Amino acid sequence: MKKLFAKLLTKAASQNNRLFLITGDLGFGVLMDYAEQYPDQFLNVGVAEQNMTGVAAGLAFDDRVVFTYSIANFPTLRCLEQIRNDVCYHELNVKIVAVGGGFSYGAAGLSHHATEDLAIMRSLPITVVAPGDLWEVEQATQAIINRPGPCYLRLDNTSAPTQDLSNSSFQIGKARRILEGRDITLMAIGGGALHVAYEAAQQLRELQIDCRLVSMHTLNPLDKEEVLDAARQTQGVITVEEHTIKGGLGGAVAEICLESGVLPRAFYRIGLRRDYGCIIGSQAYLRDQYKISAEEIVKQAKALLT
């Protein structure tokens, strides 16, 4: 995902000299082409993410469209005050790019696991987008370049396989229904979550369970109608996220259903069910350890429909 993002931003910079990219001493392998081609639109501030966000705000005041770039926790949690007070309060064109969402950097341990960022960022007045496959990365990158105001783009180290795009369209705030179904709905956000949800959907269909699969690529603003359609039209809703279940996609879906008075017949959140992921290992290993897996989704779906 990050390689594709860098390629897309490099191409966009050739057509828009207002674009500016700031990195926190990261991404040399994927950002090199951009930095070499557009040195006047690039800055490495070093390991200083709070300063990075402040510099981005200043450049945005000068009518730039500024991208900040680092591993997911660092351009978000480390500089939350600057995002809140400098970027969001002034409604600036700063686009925060977080690479390595969820357990992408699993072997690096807790400091590099991004399992609270979606909940925190969606509490701010900022567009929050987490694409699930490479096509959504391409569409989301262009969309946030063109979208006024603060944006958060969360990229994963893995992605779901891209499905038939013949009837697909991408719009911020509008979910993408990948598979139709009447029995149960799986709603996933981000590459890793959409990947395991797609695997689960295939397994459920083999069990004669008609499964709807939705990529909820935008968390803020959330597609209210897609959520309510799932609650009304299917027998249950399961949310899937490589993130804590506290305050992320599952929480947002529950809020919409309760406030609208449209309750799903059954509901379950797949995600991290403890405060932290305290073990290390590959992304796939950690998903399995914390039951963010196709097997767990199938298990819960069968239980909900019993």
The residues near 92 (Cβ < 8 Å, ≥ 6 apart) are 56, 57, 60, 61, 66, 86, 149, 150
Same domain, 23 and 75: yes
pLDDT tens digit string along 120-179?
A: 999 999 999 999 999 999 999 999 999 999 999 999 988 888 887 777 889 999 999 999
pLDDT at 168: 81
The per-residue pLDDT for 299 is 97
- pLDDT at position 292, please? 97
Q: Domain ends where: 101, 120, 155?
A: 155
pLDDT at 285: 94
Same domain assignment for residues 180 and 287 = yes
Model's pTM, two decimal places?
0.95
Same domain, 9 and 144: yes
Look up the CATH number of the domain holding residue 113: 3.40.50.970
Enclosing domain of residue 85 = 2-155
pLDDT-flagged residues of the chain (< 70): none
pLDDT for the residue 278: 85
In a domain, residue 164? The reply is no
Kindly state whether residues 114 and 196 are assigned to the same domain. no
